[in-house]
Amino acid sequence: MHVQQRVIMNPKAVFAKLFRSRFSVLFSILSLYVILLFLVRIAFLIWSSKDLDLNFLQISRAFFTGFFFDLTVGSLFLLLYAVYLLIFPKKWIGSKFDKVFTYFYLVLILIIIYFSLLAEIPFWDEFGVRFNFIAVDYLIYTYEVVENINQSYPLPLIFVVLISLILITLFALKKISAFKNTFSDKRSISSRSGFAIPLIIVAVALGLLMKNKQAESTDNLVVNELGKNGVFSFFNAFKANELDYATFYPKISDKEAYKILKNDLLQENQTYDSNSTDDISRTTKGNTEQKPNIILITIESFSGEFIKAFGNKDNITPNYDKLANESIFFTNLYATGTRTVRGMEALTLSVPPTPGNSIVRRPNNQNLFSISTILKKKNYQPYFIYGGDGYFDNMNNFFGGQGFDIVDRNRGNALSDDIKTKRFQIADNEVSFENAWGICDEDLYKQSMKYADRNAKANKPFFQFVMTTSNHKPYTFPNGKIDLPTCNRNAAVKYTDYALGKFLAEAKTRSWFKNTVFVIVADHCANSAGKWEINIKNHHIPAIIYNLPHQPEKIDRLTSQIDLMPTLFGYLGWNYDTSLYGKDINQTKPGDERAFLGNYRTLGMLKRNVFTQIDDRKRVKQFGVSGNDQSLSEMKTKNMDLVSETISYYQTASERFKNGKMKMTKKETLLTKK
């Protein structure tokens, strides 16, 4: 017995039993997967070293945790094969069926393994994290995503690499006699159970016990993400694609939350319409009203870092730079999120970024109180003009549900039956260039011009929400327009700026130009990766209000993306009722400025150089914000007033949408349908 124990504990003996048995291929693939993920983790560590806190213990823990995630996923990949190896009849081992099944299963698993590893590289490059809800969302919109991949990356080369990796792996398994051992070891089922049962137990147990939150042990985003597994994170995001605020986030009483909110929202030129605790509707008193046409241009991924005024020296935005000097220029404005739908939500609903999916993508998001409610009461006809198919990210249903007429490529995806709005197709003969995400910005602006001309001829004021796409990967656009080649970010930015300048130059020749105000803002920044869970600098975006009968000025006060449209209404002197969370920055008391930033699970409020952060583990953290990089340093003592204020905004916004309180009243609905 003593001799037998020594054999069991001998590493060479263990190796021989595992890798020279019926389970040789299985354990070889499992080992390969764990080793590959270890190497990828090292690569990501080096890649993002500038955003790391070089704490040996934390990094070691990340690798230790990551090992168990990798073991979990690898074991689950091979779980079915382990059951097959266990129960397959002894007399048929090595048969043609046995070999076909093994090779088929093996190739399938290798395709998944290598494809997921190859896919993680560009995802980490763009977002600085493992697969998350963005990757889940992309699966829904296969046309745009597949086309984007096809246009962004050399697919033939990727397929060659993928096939080569699989063939090399099969060759290596043959060289180490893994297949020979798998097809020649004809031990009994009872003997095989000593291999299969422990693996099955480990796979099931780890699958049930391992949670992504176990990797989130530090304040450093990179360290936390290093400890995760991309495939595991993908399925975790798939399961948790909706987050209920009341279940997962810190709360205060609803009464207290609304009290704080209503005190903060009220401007000097506003009064509340009722004394009801949860009624935030208020009347805004303006001056002499102006009713110009309004064209809101939302530029894809237009980071503040591209602008000359914010330190860029590449001269890639000469038109925007010139416009900024002739406009109301917001120099301290922050996007609420890191995706287009968040920018749309902020600009139309003027609401903080509630956890989980953007309201744009959620069900039951029709007839909400939005800027369209206000515009329609002023007799404007709002348009949503988009160069792709607005089916993507549920944009058409959202905008149509708020009463916008839709202009898009319209590839046959219908609106919901209960949405009664007009939809206009951008015809093929109106398109000179198109990529995965839609037509080029020049063609898009021609659509804006077309419908502006049409409304001007009918003598009807119009509002356009124009969403560009040229500044999105694969960064392709028509040749011969600028002095940079396609397929890189700076070139795409410069083309976007070129198209904007060309559009405004042409607009100046139209009779409606003098009575048209242009609001030009980014939907979000070009990247969100960084050291912290929320990297404030990566939410800084430019915004201007151009052609307003007002002296050019810079607004250096902290401004949220949700404040942009209420601020415009203030410049126009409008009297209106509002239930928006956004405020006119010019009517906001000094010291009350704030900006809201979120990234799906983590939410925060920036105010007075303090960033208050809440997350789905009911944690509350506060950071001091300092320096040009807006670095964060955790505060030991919390400012509880700011904590309560942060919670009040997110808690009430989530509660109001969930319980239908964001909906327009029957009276408002009737008024907007006139």
Number of compact structural domains in the chain: 2
Q: Does an H or E element contain 254, and which?
A: helix 254-265
Answer yes or no: do 217 and 309 share one domain.
no
Instruction: Record the tokens describing residue 26, joined without a space.
Output: 């299985």
How much of the chain exceeds pLDDT 70, in percent? Answer: 93
Q: Decide if 220 is inside a domain.
A: yes
Q: Decide if 334 is inside a domain.
A: yes
Question: Which residues in 15-43 are b (16+ Cβ under 10 Å) and which e?
Answer: eeebbbbbbbbbbbbbebbbebbeebbee
CA 501 and chain centroid, separation: 28
Pick the range with the lowest mean pLDDT from 145-159, 298-312, 419-433: 145-159
Answer yes or no: do 164 and 182 share one domain.
yes
How much of the chain exceeds pLDDT 90, in percent? Answer: 74
Q: Decide if 289 is inside a domain.
A: no
The whole-number average pLDDT for the span 494-521 is: 97
Taking residue 253's Cβ as centre, other Cβ atoms within 10 Å add up to: 9
Q: Which pLDDT band holds residue 673 (cuts at 50, 70, 90)? A: low
Q: Decide if 575 is inside a domain.
A: yes
Answer yes or no: do 378 and 499 share one domain.
yes
Asked if residues 626 and 611 have their Cβ atoms less than 8 Å apart, the reply is no
In whole angstroms, give the CA distance from residue 481 to residue 493. 12
- Where do the H-state alpha helices sit in 48-95? 56-77, 79-87
Q: Decide if 412 is inside a domain.
A: yes
The residue behind tokens 């003098």 is 514
Answer yes or no: do 224 and 361 share one domain.
no
Q: Which pLDDT band holds residue 139 (cuts at 50, 70, 90)? A: low
Q: Decide if 195 is inside a domain.
A: yes
Asked if residues 604 and 393 have their Cβ atoms less than 8 Å apart, the reply is no
- For the residues of 488-530, what is the DSSP string, one character each? SHHHHHHHHHHHHHHHHHHHTTSTTGGGEEEEEEESS-S---S
Answer yes or no: do 28 and 127 share one domain.
yes
Answer yes or no: do 36 and 101 share one domain.
yes
Answer yes or no: do 231 and 305 share one domain.
no
Per-residue pLDDT tens digits for 34-59:
999 999 999 999 999 888 877 889 99
Answer yes or no: do 235 and 374 share one domain.
no
pLDDT of 669 above 90: no
Q: Is the pTM of this model over 0.85?
A: no
In whole angstroms, give the CA distance from residue 268 to residue 6. 83
Answer yes or no: do 232 and 268 share one domain.
no
Asked if residues 72 and 206 have their Cβ atoms less than 8 Å apart, the reply is yes
Say what the pLDDT of residue 152 is: 72
pLDDT of 90 above 70: yes
Sign of CA dihedral 628, 631, 637, 643: positive
Q: Decide if 288 is inside a domain.
A: no
Answer yes or no: do 252 and 221 share one domain.
no
- Beta strands (DSSP E) in 300-363 are 328-334
Answer yes or no: do 211 and 278 share one domain.
no
Answer yes or no: do 411 and 497 share one domain.
yes
Residues constituting the chain: 674
Say what the pLDDT of residue 141 is: 62
Q: Does an H or E element contain 624, and which?
A: strand 620-626
Asked if residues 138 and 145 have their Cβ atoms less than 8 Å apart, the reply is yes
Say what the pLDDT of residue 135 is: 73
- Where do the H-state alpha helices sit in 268-317? none
The whole-number average pLDDT for the span 346-365 is: 93
The pairing of strands 516-522 and 462-467 is unpaired
What SS3 state is found at 604? strand
Per-residue pLDDT tens digits for 619-649:
999 999 998 889 999 999 999 999 999 999 9
CATH code of residue 349: 3.40.720.10
Q: Decide if 311 is inside a domain.
A: yes
Q: Which pLDDT band holds residue 264 (cuts at 50, 70, 90)? A: very high
Say what the pLDDT of residue 204 is: 94
Q: Which domain holds residue 374?
A: 248-283+296-672
Q: Is pLDDT larger for residue 18 or for residue 468?
A: 468
Q: How many CA atoms lie within 13 A of 281 on its CB side?
A: 16
Report which DSSP code applies to 304.
G
